[in-house]
A and B are shown apart, each in its own frame.
Chain A
Amino acid sequence: MISKRIIPCLDVRNGRVVKGVNFQEIRDMADPVEMARYYYETGADELVFYDITASVEGRKLFTDVLRAVASQIFIPLTVGGGINSLDDFDTVLKSGADKVSVNSGAIKNPSLIGAAAKRYGSQCVVLSIDVKRVDGNFHVFANGGRIDTGMDALEWAKQGEDLGAGEIVLNSIDTDGVRKGFDLPMLREFGKIVSVPLIASGGAGTMEDFLELFQYERIDAGLAAGVFHTKKIEIGNLKRYLKDSGVNVRI
Chain B
Amino acid sequence: MIAVVDYGVGNLFSLLCSLRSLGLDCVVTNQKEVLKRAERIILPGVGAFGDAMEKLRESGLVDTVKELAAEKPLLGICLGMQLLFDKSMEHGEHEGLGLISGSVLPLANDIAPTLKVPHMGWNKLEIFRDDPIFQHFQNGEWVYYVHSYYATNCSDHMLGVSEYGVMVPGLVRSGRIYGMQFHPEKSGSAGLRLLKAFSEL
Contacts and interface: CB of A to CB of B under 8 A. Distances in A.
Interface string A60-96: 0000000000111011100000000000000001111
Contacts of A122: 118
Interface in B110-151: 116, 118-123, 142, 144-146
Interface residues of B, number: 29
B175 to A, nearest CB: 28
Interface of B: 11, 13-14, 17-18, 20-21, 46-47, 116, 118-123, 142, 144-146, 163-164, 185-189, 191-192
Contacts of A45: 121-122
Interface of A: 1-3, 5, 40, 45, 70-72, 74-76, 93-96, 98, 121-123, 166-167, 195-197, 220, 250
Contact of A2 (B119, B186, B191): B119
Most A-side CB within 10 Å, residue of B14, B21, B118: B14
Given A76-B144, A123-B120, 7 more contacts: A3-B123, A40-B188, A94-B13, A122-B118, A123-B118, A250-B122, A250-B142
Nearest 6 A/B pairs, CB to CB: A2-B121, A250-B142, A71-B17, A250-B122, A3-B122, A123-B146
Contacts of A2: 119-123, 145, 164
Contacts of A40: 188
A3 B21 contact: no
8 contacts: A72-B21, A74-B186, A94-B13, A96-B13, A98-B14, A123-B120, A166-B120, A250-B122
A166 B116 CA distance: 10
Given A121-B47, A166-B118, A74 B185 contact: yes
Contacts, number: 70
B121 A3 contact: yes
A98 B118 CA distance: 15
Contacts of B145: 2
A74 B46 contact: no
B121 A5 contact: yes
Contacts of A121: 46-47
A1 B121 CA distance: 9
Contacts of B13: 70, 94-96
Given A93-B11, A121-B46, A123-B146, A72 B17 contact: yes
A1 B123 CA distance: 6
Contact of B121 (A72, A74, A220): A220
A207 to B, nearest CB: 20
A153 to B, nearest CB: 21
